Structure 1
Amino acid sequence: MRIGIDVTAGMWQGAGIGRYTRELVRAAVQAGPDLAFHLFYASGGLDPQSPFARYAHELAAGYPNITLRPIPISPRLLTILWQRLQLPIRVEWLIGPIDVVHAPDFVLPPTKARTLLTIHDLTFLVEPACAEPNLRRYLSAAVPRSLQRADLIVVDSKATANDLGRLYGIPSRRVRLLYPAVDGRFRPMPAAETAPVRERLRLPNRFLLFVGTLEPRKNLVRLLQAFALVNADDPDLHLVIAGRRGWLYDEIFTAVERSSARGRIHFLDFVADDDLPALYNLAEAFVYPSLYEGFGFPVLEALACGTPVVTAKVASLPEVAGSAAIMVDPLEVEDIAAGIRAALADPAPLRAAGPPQAATFRWEQTGQALVAIYRELAATAAAT
Structure 2
Amino acid sequence: MCLDARPTLPKEAGVNPTARRRRVVGLDLSSEPVRSTGVGRYAVALCRALAELDPPDVRFVAFGPRGLGLQEVPGLEVVATPFGEGRSAARRAFQQTALPALARARGVELLHSVNNLPPLGWPESLVLTFQDAKLYRAAAGAPLPRRFYRRSMHRWGARRARRVLVASEYSKREAVRALGVAPHRVRVVPFGVEAERFAPSEATERSDPAVLARHHLNSGTYVLSVATREPAKNLPRVLRAFASLASRRSDIELVLCGGRGWGGDDLEALSARLGIAQRVRFLGYVADEDLPALYRSARAFLFPSLVEGFGLPILEAMAAGTPVVTSTATACPETAGGAAVLVDPADVVDIARGLAEALEPERAADLRARGLARASQCTWRRCAEGTLACYREAIAERSGGGRRVHVTSLLSPAGFYDGAEGGASRDRALVEHLGRVPGARVHYLARDRRYPLRLARFLYALARERGACFYLQYPRLPATLRTRGLPRRLLREAFLLALRRAAARNRVLVDVSDLPVEQAESLGLELPRDEAQAFREFEASLAELPVETVFAAEAMARYAQRARGLDPARGRIALNGAPRASVRSAEAGERTPATLRLVYAGTLRRGCGLEELLDAFAAVRRPAQLVLLGSDGEWLRGALDERVRLVGGREEAEAHRLAGACHLGLVPYDPSLPYLRLVYPIKASFYWSAGLPVLSTPLPEVEARIASGAAGRCLPLSEWPAWIDALGAEELAALEAQARARAADFTWERTLADLLASLGGPARGANRTTRRVPPRAADGA
TM score, norm. by length of structure 2: 0.45
Correspondence for 1:287 among 284, 296, 302: 302
Q: What is the Cα deviation at residue 32 of structure 1?
A: 3.4
Contact 2:116–2:130 under 8 Å retained in 1: yes
Which has the higher mean CA deviation after the structures are superposed, 282-291 or 165-174? 165-174
Q: 1:149 to 1:91 in 2, by over 3 A?
A: farther
Which has the higher mean CA deviation after the structures are superposed, 258-267 or 104-113? 104-113
Q: Give the distance between the partners of 1:374 and 1:327, measured in 2 at CA.
A: 35
Q: Give the distance between the partners of 1:198 and 1:215, measured in 2 at CA.
A: 26
Which has the higher mean CA deviation after the structures are superposed, 122-131 or 313-322? 122-131
Question: What are the equivalent positions in structure 2 for 1:343-382 lying under 5 Å apart?
Answer: 343-345=358-360, 346-382=363-399
- Counterpart in the other structure of 2:116: 106
Q: Give the distance between the partners of 1:210 and 1:89, measured in 2 at CA.
A: 36
Larger radius of gyration: 2
Question: What are the equivalent positions in structure 2 for 1:69-88 lying under 5 Å apart?
Answer: 69-70=79-80, 76-77=89-90, 79-80=92-93
Q: Give the distance between the partners of 2:364 and 2:319, measured in 1 at CA.
A: 15
Deviations 1:284-314 (A, max 9, x none): 1000111111111111100111101111111
Deviations 1:74-119 (A, max 9, x none): 8635634765xxx798446753322211111112223332211110
Q: Give the distance between the partners of 1:114 and 1:315, measured in 2 at CA.
A: 30
- Counterpart in the other structure of 1:147: 158
Structure 1 position 97 matched with structure 2 position 107: yes
Q: What is the Cα deviation at residue 277 of structure 1?
A: 0.9
Q: Give the distance between the partners of 1:129 and 1:216, measured in 2 at CA.
A: 5
Q: 1:13 to 1:335 in 2, by over 3 A?
A: same
Q: Give the distance between the partners of 1:126 and 1:275, measured in 2 at CA.
A: 32
Letter in 2 for 1:294: G
Correspondence for 2:59 among 25, 31, 36: 36
Question: What are the equivalent positions in structure 2 for 1:181-220 lying under 5 Å apart?
Answer: 181-183=192-194, 184-189=196-201, 191-204=205-218, 206-220=221-235
Deviations 1:163-183 (A, max 9, x none): 122223323211011111111
Deviations 1:181-216 (A, max 9, x none): 111311134644422222221114511110111121
Deviations 1:2-31 (A, max 9, x none): 111112145634222111110011111222
Unpaired segments of 5 or more residues in structure 1? none
Letter in 1 for 2:71: H
Q: Give the distance between the partners of 2:129 and 2:44, measured in 1 at CA.
A: 14
Contact 2:176–2:183 under 8 Å retained in 1: yes
Q: 1:248 to 1:112 in 2, by over 3 A?
A: closer
Deviations 1:121-178 (A, max 9, x none): 1100023543355532321221111112111100111111011222233232110111
Corresponding residue pairs, total: 368
Question: What are the equivalent positions in structure 2 for 1:248-259 lying under 5 Å apart?
Answer: 248-259=263-274
Q: Which structure ranks higher in relative contact order (CA pairs < 8 Å, sequence separation ≥ 6)?
A: 1
Q: Give the distance between the partners of 2:199 and 2:82, measured in 1 at CA.
A: 39
Unpaired segments of 5 or more residues in structure 2? 1-22, 402-781
Q: Give the distance between the partners of 2:90 and 2:293, measured in 1 at CA.
A: 38
Q: Give the distance between the partners of 1:106 and 1:322, measured in 2 at CA.
A: 25
Q: 1:268 to 1:132 in 2, by over 3 A?
A: farther
Letter in 1 for 2:379: R
Contact 1:127–1:292 under 8 Å retained in 2: no
Q: Give the distance between the partners of 2:237 and 2:375, measured in 1 at CA.
A: 27
Q: 1:89 to 1:58 in 2, by over 3 A?
A: closer
Q: 1:11 to 1:208 in 2, by over 3 A?
A: closer
Q: 1:78 to 1:129 in 2, by over 3 A?
A: closer
Contact 1:32–1:368 under 8 Å retained in 2: no
Q: 1:247 to 1:376 in 2, by over 3 A?
A: closer
- Counterpart in the other structure of 2:587: none
Q: What SS does the aligned partner of 1:40 have? A: strand
Contact 2:26–2:103 under 8 Å retained in 1: no
Q: What is the Cα deviation at residue 67 of structure 1?
A: 2.3
- Counterpart in the other structure of 1:169: 180
- Counterpart in the other structure of 2:148: 137
Q: 1:13 to 1:176 in 2, by over 3 A?
A: farther
Contact 1:92–1:98 under 8 Å retained in 2: no
Contact 2:31–2:92 under 8 Å retained in 1: no
Q: Give the distance between the partners of 2:178 and 2:267, measured in 1 at CA.
A: 31
Letter in 1 for 2:38: G
Query: Over aligned residues, Cα RMSD in angstroms?
Result: 2.3
Q: 1:251 to 1:200 in 2, by over 3 A?
A: closer
Q: Give the distance between the partners of 2:358 and 2:90, measured in 1 at CA.
A: 47
Which has the higher mean CA deviation after the structures are superposed, 195-204 or 87-96? 87-96
Structure 1 position 24 matched with structure 2 position 39: no
Letter in 1 for 2:364: P
Q: 1:58 to 1:239 in 2, by over 3 A?
A: same
The percent of aligned pairs where both chains have the same amino acid is: 33
Contact 1:9–1:17 under 8 Å retained in 2: no
Q: What SS does the aligned partner of 1:323 have? A: coil
Contact 2:224–2:295 under 8 Å retained in 1: yes
Contact 2:301–2:322 under 8 Å retained in 1: yes
Structure 1 position 278 matched with structure 2 position 293: yes
Correspondence for 1:4 among 17, 26, 37: 26
Q: What SS does the aligned partner of 2:289 have? A: coil
Letter in 2 for 1:202: H
Structure 1 position 297 matched with structure 2 position 320: no
Q: Give the distance between the partners of 1:136 and 1:106, measured in 2 at CA.
A: 13
Which has the higher mean CA deviation after the structures are superposed, 14-23 or 240-249? 240-249
Deviations 1:338-368 (A, max 9, x none): 0011111131101111111111111111111
Q: Give the distance between the partners of 2:103 and 2:230, measured in 1 at CA.
A: 38
Letter in 2 for 1:116: V
Q: Give the distance between the partners of 1:230 and 1:11, measured in 2 at CA.
A: 36
Contact 2:30–2:95 under 8 Å retained in 1: no
Which has the higher mean CA deviation after the structures are superposed, 311-320 or 244-253? 244-253
Q: 1:208 to 1:71 in 2, by over 3 A?
A: closer
Q: 1:133 to 1:257 in 2, by over 3 A?
A: farther
As a proportion of its length, which structure holds more helix? 1
Contact 1:244–1:269 under 8 Å retained in 2: yes
Q: Give the distance between the partners of 2:103 and 2:109, measured in 1 at CA.
A: 13
Q: Give the distance between the partners of 2:392 and 2:275, measured in 1 at CA.
A: 58
Q: 1:330 to 1:166 in 2, by over 3 A?
A: same
- Counterpart in the other structure of 2:733: none
Correspondence for 1:57 among 71, 78, 96: 71
Q: Give the distance between the partners of 2:82 and 2:351, measured in 1 at CA.
A: 47
Q: What is the Cα deviation at residue 379 of structure 1?
A: 1.6
Q: What SS does the aligned partner of 2:61 have? A: strand
- Counterpart in the other structure of 2:500: none
Contact 1:31–1:371 under 8 Å retained in 2: no
Q: Give the distance between the partners of 1:298 and 1:133, measured in 2 at CA.
A: 28
Correspondence for 1:311 among 326, 333, 336: 326
Q: 1:28 to 1:270 in 2, by over 3 A?
A: same
Q: Give the distance between the partners of 1:269 and 1:122, measured in 2 at CA.
A: 25
